[in-house]
Amino acid sequence: MTSGFHVAIAGATGAVGQEIMAVLQKRRFPVRELTLLASSRSTGREMRFGESTLTVKEMTPEAFTGVDIALFSAGGARSREFAGHAVAAGAVVVDNSSAFRMDPDVPLVVPEINPEAVKEHKGIIANPNCSTIAMVVPLFPLHKAFGVRRVVVSTYQAASGAGAAAMEELLEGTRAQLEGRDFTPTVFPYPYAFNLFPHDSPLDEDGYCEEEVKMVRETRKIMGDDSLRINATCIRVPVLRAHSEALNIEFSREVSPQEAYRVLQEAPGVKIFEERENNRWATPLDASGGDPVLVGRIRRDTSQPNTLDLWLVSDQLLKGAALNAVQIAELL
Amino acid sequence: MTSGFHVAIAGATGAVGQEIMAVLQKRRFPVRELTLLASSRSTGREMRFGESTLTVKEMTPEAFTGVDIALFSAGGARSREFAGHAVAAGAVVVDNSSAFRMDPDVPLVVPEINPEAVKEHKGIIANPNCSTIAMVVPLFPLHKAFGVRRVVVSTYQAASGAGAAAMEELLEGTRAQLEGRDFTPTVFPYPYAFNLFPHDSPLDEDGYCEEEVKMVRETRKIMGDDSLRINATCIRVPVLRAHSEALNIEFSREVSPQEAYRVLQEAPGVKIFEERENNRWATPLDASGGDPVLVGRIRRDTSQPNTLDLWLVSDQLLKGAALNAVQIAELL
């Protein structure tokens, strides 16, 4: 532990924080020292990292002293409160919240797409929204090859996107229903067992929820093209940790499914996952625990020219959050 | 029981068959006599209908003697095998399977939309696919008012669409997962607990599954407009009995959300279900057990002109099957 980086995880006890620790190890990130930070509620908790047992410390302005890279995953309010302190202490912040994503001074990075943007950072690099990451990983190579004009996307988002407590609420609410017990949800404003609902982030004046707006704006920023036209409907489904998305993609010219498959076969971070002859496609369980965005069911939209449908599934906690954050750190 | 109709339910022990019995009672359908038919496996089973206890009989060619109206919900193969016998015995068949839906001699009826088509019947009237019914109930009044040009629809389909055994598989598979037991699915080709998957009906040469093709063809037939352009992605989600759908609807002119709400407020079979100020929208649990198709979240698609997004949820067993079938019988 004499060479490498002093890494801090802000929000270490959350669903993403725990995945970040696993990803750092799996990818053998050169960690010289690891500082685990969380709210005072979790202070003192012990967590394993490889051979070591680390004690979670309280996130304070001083906690970032000596830190080289601070991976934030503790919600937007914490990021806004503490990221500046981390930068002032000399750390580079990779922030998983939405706090800085649309800030023109903050690069918004998916390493497979715009790694060069990392260089522009002024202390903070933002990790995109999980639904956005899942979509842009296959969309960008298609855009480069054929020119995407418009995307209509419907999401099937897992509990993990709202954190460990949401996953627990899905499990506990389902258990209660199967046992005929009452259960009052506290994380979501809807019953979640065997149910689904539109994403509960705040609405804008057009009636889109924040999650949907993120998929539009962040995609444009990451792909560097403000002319991209995107329409999103974001739905939370009773699935634990992988997001699925149905994409209808209009290109600027006719594109055959075969051409699209050829591009995606070579695309970083993408795995074609299907057995067409067996009518077998990617599901959240197939994607859970894996790095690539699983893509398939590419078919010609017979309702208009130049348009393809595509199905994708991606582990929300990995590529949607922890993996992408660590990949950004690797670029530094 | 001296006036009214002799009604037979073919497939009485299935999920839809049982709902048909409940709907007949709830709507006080004039039943003079009720004959319950099923495969030999269920023969002899006793079922309650109001004050009576009825014994399920085996479905045979002779079982339809004296029957006025035969409500079929026993799968396409049974319909193809027995509907002709029922018609020969003098019954009018209302068939819930896909066997005859696209037959030009068979009306495909949603009573709120094309009740007049019933008159053209030659013994068989087809009940549309459940996802199609949910979509056309609000789509048709919008089409009449504003002219629909193209629809991109993603479905979130419940277990009930595949019958009572599928609902049981969802419950049992989930219970097993929560208890850490192994569970091998037999109804679906995927694990279903906390998982979702593309609809497993057979693919056509374009890569669309049958369910998706039904949503295109049946919608055109019911709405009487072969120029309608529809693109569907059908996904099975771990929900028990209501289908949800995210629609992106392009009109032939600019339509404001307010205009669309105004039309749908007056539309038969539709209920506007939302509390926009509370960010509260329809869910499968809200729709379960209810007759109307719940509609809301109408918003302008900012990605192209003349286009709105709309969210709907509908009880698959009621409006998607049993209710629509009984409504057709009421027209007779």
- Give domain A132-317's CATH superfamily: Dihydrodipicolinate Reductase; domain 2 (3.30.360.10)
With helix as H, strand as E and coil as C, how does chain A read?
Answer: CCCCEEEEEECCCCHHHHHHHHHHHHCCCCEEEEEEEECHHHCCCEEEECCEEEECEECCHHHHCCCCEEEECCCHHHHHHHHHHHHHCCCEEEECCCCCCCCCCCCECCCCCCHHHHHHCCCEEECCCHHHHHHHHHHHHHHHHHCEEEEEEEEEECHHHHCHHHHHHHHHHHHHHHCCCCCCCCCCCCCCCCCCEECCCCECCCCCEHHHHHHHHHHHHHHCCCCCEEEEECEECCCCCEEEEEEEEEECCCCCHHHHHHHHHCCCCEEECEEHHHCEECCHHHHCCCCCEEEEEEEECCCCCCEEEEEEEEECCHHHHHHHHHHHHHHC
Nearest by CB to residue B279, choosing from A202, A216, A299, is A202
Average pLDDT, chain B: 97
Query: pLDDT of A212-225, one tens digit each?
Result: 999 999 999 999 99
Query: Nearest-CA neighbor of A281 among B186, B189, B152?
Result: B189
Write out pLDDT tens, residues B205-249.
Answer: 999 999 999 999 999 999 999 999 999 999 999 999 999 999 999
Q: pLDDT tens digit string along B13-27?
A: 999 999 999 999 999
Where do you find CATH 3.40.50.720 in chain A? 5-127+322-331
Determine the pLDDT at residue A2: 66
* pLDDT over threshold 80, residue B2: no
Cβ-defined contact of B297 to A207 (cutoff 8 Å):
yes
- Residue limits of CATH 3.30.360.10 in chain B: 132-316
The DSSP line for B135-201 is: HHHHHHHHHHHH-EEEEEEEEEB-GGGG-HHHHHHHHHHHHHHHTT-----SSSSS--TT--EE--S
Residues of A in contact with B248 (CB under 8 A): 152, 231, 233, 248
The pLDDT score that the predictor gives to residue B1 is 46
Q: Where in chain B is the domain with CATH 3.40.50.720?
A: 5-128+322-331
Work out the pLDDT band at B3, boundaries 50, 70, 90: confident
Is the Cβ pair A233, B309 closer than 8 Å? yes
Q: Which of chain A's residues have a Cβ under 8 Å away from the Cβ of B301? A: 231
Cβ distance of B191 and A244 shorter than 8 Å: no
What residues of A are annotated to the active site? Answer: 130, 243
Please answer yes or no on whether B299 and A207 come within 8 Å at the CB atom: yes
* Residue B134 three-state SS: helix
pLDDT at A20: 97
Q: Which residue out of B200, B233, B314 would a mutagenesis test of the A interface target, given it has the greatest number of A Cβ atoms within 10 Å?
A: B233
CB-CB under 8 Å, B300 with A206: yes
Q: Do B311 and A230 touch (CB under 8 A)?
A: no
- Nearest-by-Cβ selection for A240 from B150, B189, B194: B194
What is the complex's ipTM, to 2 decimals?
Answer: 0.96
If you classify domain B5-128+322-331 with CATH, what class do you get?
alpha beta
Please give the structure tokens belonging to residue B68.
């006025």
B100 to chain A, minimum CA–CA distance in Å? Answer: 24
State the distance between the two ends of chain B, measured CA to CA, in whole angstroms. Answer: 19
Q: Where in chain A is the domain with CATH 3.30.360.10?
A: 132-317
Of B103, B107, B147, B151, give the one whose Cα is nearest residue B131. B151
* Fold of the A5-127+322-331 domain: Rossmann fold (3.40.50)
Show pLDDT as tens, one digit a residue, over chain A (332 residues): 468 999 999 999 999 999 999 999 999 999 999 999 999 999 999 999 999 999 999 999 999 999 999 999 999 999 999 999 999 999 999 999 999 999 999 999 999 999 999 999 999 999 999 999 999 999 999 999 999 999 999 999 999 999 999 999 999 999 999 999 999 999 999 999 999 999 999 999 999 999 999 999 999 999 999 999 999 999 999 999 999 999 999 999 999 999 999 999 999 999 999 999 999 999 999 999 999 999 999 999 999 999 999 999 999 999 999 999 999 999 99
Superfamily of domain B132-316 in the CATH hierarchy:
Dihydrodipicolinate Reductase; domain 2 (3.30.360.10)
B130 catalytic? Reply is yes
pLDDT of residue A1: 46
Residue to mutate among B197, B273, B276, with most A CBs inside 10 A, is B197
